Amino acid sequence: MKKFLFAGHLFSPLFLLLIAVSGVLRAQDFNGRTVAEIQYDPQQQPIDSHDLQDAQLVRVGEPLDSNQVAATIDRLFATGLYDDIQVDAEPAGNGVTLRFITRSRRFIGHVDVEGKLSDPPTRAVIASDAELNLGTPFDPDALNTAKANIEQLLHDNGLYEAQVGTATIEDPDTHQVTIRFLVEVGKRARYEMPVIKGDTKLSDAAIVRATGWRIRFIHRWRQVTQALTDKGTDGIEKKYAKQNRLTASVDITSLDYNPDTRRLKPTLEINAGPKITIKAIEAKVRKSKLRELVPVYEEGSVDNDLLFEGAHNLRDYFQSKGYPDVQVDVRREPLKNDQEVINYYISRGPRRKLVHIGFVGSTYFTETTIRERIFLQENSLVMRYGRYSEIFRQKDKEAIENLYQANGFRDVKVNSAVETNYKGKPNDIAVTFHIDQGKQWLVNKLEFTGAVRLDVAPLRDQLASAEGQPYADVNVDSDRNRILEYYYSNGFPAASVTIATTPGPEPATINLTYNITEGPREFVRSVVVSGLNRTRPYLVERAINLQEGEPISMVKVSDISRQLADLGIFANVNSALQDPDGTNRYKYVLYDLEEAARYSMRFGVGLEVGQFGGTTTNLAQAGGAKGISPILAGDINRINFLGRGETISLQFRYSPLEQRESLNYIVPRFLGSPKRTGTFSILYDTTQNVQTFSVRREQASLQISQRFNRASTMLMRFIYRRDAPNTTIPALNTPAFTSAVRLGELSGSYIQDHRDNPADAHRGFWNTVDGGLAGNFFGSQRNYVRLLGRNATYTSLGRNLVFARQTQIGLIKPYRIQAGFNSFDVIPLPERFFGGGSVSMRGFGDNQAGPRDIGTLSELPGTPVTPPTGFPIGGDAIFFNTFELRFPLLGPNISGVFFHDMGNIYSTLSDISLAYHQPDTGFLYPAKPATGVTQIPIPAFNYAVQAAGFGIRYKTPLGPVRVDLAYTLNPPRYIGFDMNEPIQTLIACTPQEIGITKSCSPIGQQLSHFQFFFSIGQAF
């Protein structure tokens, strides 16, 4: 027999009595009794102990007041941390024990999407469509809405078989809920022949073609995606737009999915509308310009507002082209035969030049200061008619007023007058701005009120308004923002500032008061990080320098987000406060991270055009021959290796001139500093970018990059490499030059970059110093020091001109030269300075500057034992200087450059010379006058080559596209072959044949006076 607890006793008199007793005890019966104890159930409350102390108004030892209990419930709930609060009371002797029975509110944490997905949609898009915002209260109903949103998103992308499940995990300490959406996408539907309704004026086949929903030629329907569905309707609208049916409307009224065939049938409701022709009458306007200026094209509808807007735009356009008297009228012709014509009648009037802009009444600002702020521009070489339109004139009036008002001239009035027939010339106009400055108002007294918990004294220096300085509304607004930023940064998210002004004691003076309402101060309770799967937590923790109890600065919280994003291992970094609207002062700061994909790959192909050719194929092209070299390049990166935030990168580049593979291990925040990066690399490279030789290079290196500030960076590196050069130039074909050599070099660079825009600088300077030491103590087979410095400056001359200059100087100096070497051959060919080309010295082709091969002379003035080939052989010193004048040429995107490049590569530092004329060695070639062959002086190369030229720059988002044409005033002469003899024939020349036999006789030549370069980016 079952036994029940109350069986047989439920209605006993004793029980009824006890129930009756219990009914007698009510809330008011406890009022006034002393509170003996206050308990919380559960004991661990979601609220911080500081906030609990503030919220709890009932106190142990004090009489119970039910109003205080009610107020405590209100306060606790207002924190936003509770879903339910109940207060029980229980007699305790003569007093009462209170128990707060609570249920904590939960908050949205990390949102994860699991399962094998089919892109689109991506995981990030699915998570975003869930619309679950980090740190906001978690509502199970919202989870159902999120699930429905995701299902809809998947359906929109043709994934009608998709199943979405949800799972949640709550952190009992922080009450953050991790939400997991488990998605099984199933197979994607394909489109099928749509139902087409309405007045289409196009065949169904043409409409289907325009949608792009079916693959052309093979007629297979494509898989459904939301983007393709949208593109389909856009495609139809574009098709109509091409037929000038600008008001066509295309709507998808339904998308019907057939689960048996997995096909989606769209229903299209189309109204083609009439053909609309927009014409410019009496003045020529390019069709593309008309499309740009008449908004009917963009809006896809025709109404009077849009037509008048088009008329205004056309008027402004013609005025800016020098037709200030232009009149534009629009007339809409009646619809006829499915055709509507809209005519813009443009009466341009005479073309006028804005020849003068004057300013009258301005004493406070110079004319230059005002001119910098206006749109109107007088005619010039660049702008033949100047720039004038009524809109510009109006804007300039406002700009001048703003300038004065910002400097305390509150009552300034600016008027402008246009004078035609200026100085008797009928087509010249002048604009005069009449400026009535009025009085300059000054701040007499600046005060703060309401700043209680924060010292605002440090703010005074940062404000735009100051006692004795001009009073301006714009300054006051800026000050308000500065004060609020200061408060927000110090944990006062609800701070507000109002401004009060009263007249000062003197005329035109103002007493200014900033009234601050600080509001509550919020503090960091703790930091909660979510979303880490593979990443080691320490990596994130060391980036988050928030301490428990410190005031919350949302500026700092955002900065940390940016630093986390800069680690490069997260696809998304989201930060928030838990329950930001709650009244609790101690809040959790949340960082939710989405780890990026582990692998990334990039591949590219390109074409290099330049002065190629080389000793391996032809000794007759010492000055270089034009060539084309295809390039295949790419990299494969494994980011966040072992969860440590480090990256392994395999990079490659293949072209006929260079084959390179490198493996890099990149350690950001090297040795704990966020501004330090370590890179370990191994490299295998075969290159022939200097046509004199090829080199196979095997290299291992360690580089540490330390950034000091935005502009200054230092690089320290140790490189150990093996160079194996190869050359067929007879004079260089000796063991000293062609033997493989091991080099160990410790080097460093210091870079100071104060350019305003590195891609196209207008102001600032750029300095680099690079030095290296190679020695046998580093395992090097050669001993030398290397130093290279560069200084570039950029100066704005007026509004549009930039004067830029750059000087480079460098040297390589051998020391402790080993036996068997001399100072010339101890530096391996690949380590020497080579120069010339678009970024060093435009008087030369690529790497054509400096000393060249003059063969080997034996027992001078005896017989040369190897023929001179004239190929560049590099030098141990470098000096280049460049001047550039950069100016606007055509419109805002095309600019021009005049440049002068000067300098050369020199044999040694002491050989650096600024001489204009190329010197001779003093020897003659061939050295045997008895042969009857005309002798040529053998040239030396240590002189300064000078080149001047002109360039054009076209501004693009990647930087300016550059074309330079240089004329070299004094290109070097050299002795070299000019015949296409087989190379083996030339090499096989015996000393007796050199200079005698025709095929073994180099002749005097000279590098071209003209050089042409095409590249991206400024020269420096």
Partner 1 sequence: MRSRLITLLLLTGAIASAVVIDRIAIIIDNKMIVKDSDIRRDIRVTSFLNNQRPDLSPASQKQAANRLIDQIFIRREIELGGYPQATLQQADQQLDSLEKERFRSQTALNAALRSYSLNALDLRFRFQWQLTVLRFINSRFKPAVLISDDEIEKYYRDHAAELRRQFPGRSSLNDLRDDIRDLLTDERVNQQFFAWLDAQRKDTKIQYLEADLR
The answer to whether residue 77 forms part of the interface with partner 1 (CB under 8 A) is yes
Buried-state track 145-174, b at ≥16 Cβ within 10 A, e below 16 = ebeebbbebbbbbbbbbbebeeeeeeeeeb
Task: Report strand pairing: 973-976 vs 1003-1006.
Answer: antiparallel
Q: Is 107 in the site for partner 1 (CB under 8 A)?
A: no
Binding of partner 1 by 369 (CB under 8 A) = no
Contact pick of 54, 83, 170, 436 for partner 1 (by CB under 8 A) = 83
User: Long-range contacts: 142-148, Cβ < 8 Å, 24+?
Assistant: 143/168, 143/179, 146/179, 146/181, 147/181
- In the set 81, 89, 827, 829, which binds partner 1 (CB under 8 A)? 89
State the pairing for strand pair 249-258/263-271: antiparallel
26 binds partner 1 (CB under 8 A): yes
Least distance (Å) between residue 79 CB and partner 1:
12
Compute the distance between CA of residue 433 and CA of residue 415 in angstroms, rounded to an integer.
6
Burial of 627 (0-12, 13-18, 19+ CB in 10 A): middle
Binding letters toward partner 1, positions 112-151, x by CB under 8 A:
-------------------------x-x-x----------
- Residue closer to partner 1, measured from CB, 66 or 271: 66
CA distance 196 to 210: 13
* 25 interacts with partner 1 by CB under 8 A: yes
Please report how close the Cβ of residue 132 comes to partner 1 at its closest, in angstroms.
15
Nearer to partner 1 by C-beta: 14 or 819?
14
How many chain residues are in contact with partner 1, going by CB under 8 A?
Answer: 37
For 86-102, b/e burial (b = at least 16 CB within 10 A) is ebebeeeeebbbbebeb
Q: Of 140 and 426, which has the nearer Cβ to partner 1?
A: 140
Q: What is the C-alpha separation between 80 and 6, in angstroms, rounded?
A: 41
CB-based contact 450:476 (threshold 8 Å) = no
Q: Which of 35, 47, 55, 69 binds partner 1 (CB under 8 A)?
A: 69
Shortest CB 36 distance to partner 1, Å: 13
DSSP output for 717-728 = EEEEEEEEEE--
- Of 2, 11, 21, 820, which lies in the binding site for partner 1, with binding defined by CB under 8 A? 21
Phi-psi region of 816 (alpha: psi -120 to 50; beta: other; left: phi over 0): left
Question: Distance between CA 944 and CA 913 in Å, rounded?
Answer: 6
Instruction: Residue 957: count other Cβ atoms within 10 Å of its Cβ.
Output: 5
Q: How far is the CB of 33 from partner 1 (least distance, A)?
A: 11
**Span of 23-31, 701-709, 815-823, 874-882 interacting with partner 1 by CB under 8 A:** 23-31
**607 vs 629: CA distance, rounded Å:** 6
Whichever of 42 and 165 has its CB closer to partner 1, that residue is 42
Q: Which is nearer to partner 1, 103 or 425 (CB)?
A: 103
* Contact range with partner 1 by CB under 8 A, out of 84-92, 467-475, 667-675, 914-922: 84-92
Span of 21-29, 219-227, 425-433, 765-773 interacting with partner 1 by CB under 8 A: 21-29
Rounded to 10 degrees, the C-alpha dihedral 23/25/29/34 comes to -160
Query: Considering the rule CB under 8 A, would residue 390 count as an interface residue with partner 1?
Result: no
Residue matched to tokens 């401004």: 499
CB nearer to partner 1: pick between 82 and 433: 82
Minimum separation from the CB atom of position 89 to partner 1 (A): 5
Q: Does 65 bind partner 1 (CB under 8 A)?
A: no
Buried-exposed string 966-980: b where 16+ CB fall within 10 A, e elsewhere? bbbebbbbbbbbeee
CB under 8 A: which stretch of 16-24, 201-209, 213-221, 248-256 binds partner 1?
16-24
Tell me which residue of 268, 196, 188 sits closest to 226, measured CA to CA: 188
Question: Which residue in the set 62, 84, 305, 411 belongs to the binding site for partner 1 (CB under 8 A)?
Answer: 84
Verify binding: residue 74, partner 1, rule CB under 8 A.
Answer: yes
d(CA 547, CA 570): 23
Helix (H, G, I), strand (E, B) or coil at 1015: strand
Alpha helices in 819-951, H assignment, sequence order: none
Stretch near partner 1 under the rule CB under 8 A, chosen from 19-27, 452-460, 802-810, 872-880? 19-27
**Choice between 96 and 376, CB closer to partner 1:** 96
Pick the binder of partner 1 from 1, 2, 5, 506 (CB under 8 A).
5
**Exposed e or buried b per residue across 712-745, where buried means at least 16 C-beta atoms within 10 angstroms of its C-beta:** ebbbebbbbbebbbbbbbbbbeeeebbeebebbb
**CB closer to partner 1, 86 vs 931:** 86
Does residue 22 bind partner 1 (CB under 8 A)?
Answer: yes
User: Which residue from 85, 76, 66 is spatially nearest to 26, judged by alpha carbons?
Assistant: 66
Judged by CB under 8 A, which stretch of 25-33, 352-360, 694-702, 970-978 contacts partner 1? 25-33
Which span sits near partner 1 by CB under 8 A: 72-80, 226-234, 735-743, 1005-1013?
Answer: 72-80
Question: Of 91, 165, 503, 929, which one interacts with partner 1 (CB under 8 A)?
Answer: 91
Which spans of this chain sit near partner 1 (rule: CB under 8 A)? 5-6, 9, 14-15, 18-19, 21-22, 25-30, 66, 69-70, 73-74, 77, 83-91, 98-99, 105, 137, 139, 141, 581
